Chains A and B, each alone.
Chain A
Amino acid sequence: MSNVQRQDLTIFNDQSVLSKSLFTEGLSHLLFVTHRLGTSPSWLINTITESYIYGIPFSLNESNTSAVNRKAVCTKPLVIASFIHESAYFTSSLNKLKIDSTQYRILDFLTDFALKYTGNPKEKVLTELINCLSKQSGRILILEQPELLIPLLNITSDELHLNFINPLMKMFSVVVLVSSVEGYENTNADSGEYQKKDMIDMIRYTHSCFHKSIVLLALKPLDTGRANDITGTLRITRGGASPSRLPVHVVENEYLFHSQRESTKLFYR
């Protein structure tokens, strides 16, 4: 693969990963990242983080690892909140990329979460989480696996969307939702086949995310299984939200990517 040309990641037609026009006061946009077993999204989270802070994803493709020309272009910090990873997980990987730690905040909703919150009234917990996030006064939020709140607090997908994700969208110009779709299976809803409650909530959750999102970034392994020089595919497709308030549009694309030793390279499919 070494002789194959590496590709820059572009999501919007202004050649950007995160277009500047996404950050319009009073409007909010959602990006939906899905992943599966075998393709952890950590590199994509790093890429989005870098793109926001420096305007360009430096570490991708090892294109420019020198920290010389780096100048933060953002005015407000980026917030990462995760329900599955502790904060050290992010700080260590972002430190390795030499990202200015003043530019981001990390909220750890893994450590002690279950011990602290299980059994508490769900409305109270959600309000507390929202308050916690609003204090960060960030512009972009990367929210990892909020769907875990459904079983954690015993709420429905609708409650999660209306009482948690929607309020967050009002606080941040851009919300990047990162969710696992491993196990998702929606056999035709009108076939009348019995679906378990958990699955219904998962379907409703992902559907709502789709219809809210301006773009879908789907990571998945190759259908053929493991390969030595390819980790999986990143497919960029339009989401279900109206793009009419956005001057740019999504460039649909499918990349092959290869993650190895904490660096990721992109190729065209």
Chain B
Amino acid sequence: MSFRKRGDVLGGPQRGLGVNRGISSPDARAMRGLPQGRGLPPNGEMHLGERAHPIKHVSAGMRRLAVNESVVPPSSLDQSHPGIRPSPVSSQPTTSTGCHDLDKLLGHMGLPLGESLLIEEQGTTEFSSVLAKSFASQGIVHNRTEKSSALTNGNTHLIVVTLNQLFGQELPGVYKGSRKDIKKSKISETESKVTVQNMLESTHSEPSARQDLKIAWRYGLNDDKKNTKHKESENDAYPDYCHSFDITSRLMPAPNSAEISYISSIQPVRSILSQLESTINKFDRKLIRIVIPNFLHPAMYPPKSTQLTELIPLLHGIRSVVKKYKERTVLLCTMSSDLFSSGLVLPSIEIFFDSIINLEPFQQEMLEFLERAYKSQPNKVQHGLLHVLKLPILSERGEMHVMKSEWAFKNGKKKFEIEPWGIPVEDTDPDDSKHSSHNLDSQGALNSSGLDF
């Protein structure tokens, strides 16, 4: 595995081989295991591209290598913001959320400027804050990308609406590879990493490739050559667009006041809004990333802020600001949906966001089942379901993008992954099968309850 992981270092934000292989087989199983015949095809396209079997990736890696060398000086992108690219769907300028899979899920390879994203989370887990922090880190990393170039003032500014003044110091740093990788890279400083990696990759991935091919071929995954190629080239065109973040590390140095501004959440609506707007104006010509972590968290917001008469003016104002500066502002907000599961609070909040996803972490029972099912591959265990409620621009146009229980997420040291959800089928010893069939039932119930939600 360590070899393949090294592939990740070189591949930058892309998925390494190991992960790819990991995905293709559970998916195939998942398709078999899906209870309601809800297959992947409708939404699979986004992921199909990467599910291509490893052989292709080897060659893709070669290609990448070739192009990478030619694009090496990033200063060639001086003209434009490194964190902005056109959306493949609407060609609107789009910026990365700091999570590659989330970028893809949103359909635009990111969050189009002038749009807002709400991440709801059920339960008491903190998965959404991982996304919020990656989103923040990504902004800071974009800002530092061009430091050496003419734009000495940076290109991005982060505004955080929170009471937590330490938010900036908790941001994750860019993923630098596993510990082994880092060691090795030190040793082989003079050597070209890429060559080593490629050689290792090609020798080690072939058997697994054949293994995967069986399944991949059956589901027509081989047909995605074009997609893969396309994706590669896109990533080469925007090398500093999206990074992987290591949640166990810290972004060094921590963002300074020129990079991050805090707005306290316990002020009257009016002052929050005017501060927001004046900060945006202060950093004109910069891309503004607004983060509202843990919106309405009882420890950070006064009780009366949950009254619609307080809440709606605030959100109305924030939406107004985002739309007013739509050519250079994006907004990400996270909140617990459990605290406001009844009544009109949640539906009222949802009105004001252009895109919404909801994270539903698995219960203990389900996690235990997944751990059993993926006994040999513990890194495949997903952590919860991801429901899509709205997608930027597309939902607004009238397209229907409510997708419940179609995606699952898992949070790793290196990245937050989102993949099509399917129930894994255990093909282990018969002793376990008793358990699994029982668990499958409870899982089915869980799944359908997710649908009902």
The judgment on whether A and B are partners is yes
Contact B269 A110 (CB under 8 A): no
Contact indicator A226/B403 (Cβ below 8 Å): yes
Contact B316 A42 (CB under 8 A): no
A38: contacting residue among B273, B317, B395, CB under 8 A: B395
- The interface centre, meaning the residue of A145, A152, A198, A264 with most chain B CB atoms within 10 A of its CB, is A198
User: CA of A198 to CA of B346 in the docked complex: distance in angstroms?
Assistant: 12
Q: How distant is B154 from chain A, measured CB to nearest CB, in Å? A: 28
Give the A interface residue count (CB, 8 A). 47
Q: State whether B312 touches A148 (Cβ < 8 A).
A: yes
- Is B313 part of the contact surface with A, judged by Cβ < 8 Å? yes
A225 CA / B37 CA spacing, docked (Å)? 13
Identify which of B42, B312, B326, B343 gathers the most chain A CB atoms within 10 Å of its CB.
B312
Per-position 1/0 for A82-99, Cβ under 8 A of B: 011110110001000000
Inter-subunit contact A115/B320 (CB<8 Å): yes
**A74 in contact (CB, < 8 A):** no
> Is B170 located at the chain interface by the 8 A CB criterion?
no
Known: A38-B395, A148-B312. A182 touches B401 (CB 8 A): no
Provide the A26-52 mask, 1 if CB < 8 A to any CB of B, else 0.
Answer: 000000000001111111100000000
Q: CA separation between A88 and B320, bound complex, in Å?
A: 12
B119 smallest CB distance to A (angstroms): 16
Q: Is the CB of A43 within 8 A of B389?
A: no
B319 interface neighbour in A40, A110, A119, A196, Cβ under 8 Å: A110
- In Å, the complex CA distance between A40 and B395 comes to 7
Q: Assess the B351–A111 pair: CB atoms within 8 A.
A: no
The answer to whether B398 touches A41 (Cβ under 8 A) is yes
Of the residues B270, B274, B323, contact of A119 by C-beta under 8 Å: B270
In the complex, the chain B residue whose C-beta lies closest to that of A39 is B400
**By the criterion CB–CB under 8 Å, are B400 and A231 in contact?**
yes
A5, CB-defined interface residue at 8 Å: no
A38, B274: Cβ atoms under 8 Å?
A: no
Q: B274-333: which residues lie under 8 A (CB-CB) from chain A?
A: 274, 277, 308-309, 311-314, 316-317, 319-320, 323-324, 326
A110 and B400 form a contact (CB under 8 A): no
User: What residues of chain B lie closer than 8 Å to A167, measured between beta carbons?
Assistant: none
With an 8 A cutoff between CB atoms, is A199 at the interface?
yes
Q: Contacts A84-B351, A110-B319, A228-B42 hold; do A38 and B402 have CB atoms under 8 A apart?
A: yes
Say yes or no: is B189 at the interface (Cβ < 8 Å to chain A).
Answer: no
User: Which residues of A from 124 to 173 have beta carbons under 8 Å from B?
Assistant: 145, 148, 150-152, 154
Q: Offer 14 A-B interface pairs, CB within 8 angstroms, sorted by A.
A: A40-B399, A42-B398, A44-B398, A110-B319, A112-B320, A114-B273, A114-B314, A148-B351, A150-B308, A152-B312, A183-B347, A198-B308, A199-B344, A259-B400
| Chain A contacts to B: CB under 8 angstroms | 37-44, 83-86, 88-89, 93, 110-115, 118-119, 145, 148, 150-152, 154, 180, 182-183, 196, 198-199, 202, 221, 225-228, 231-232, 259-260, 262, 264
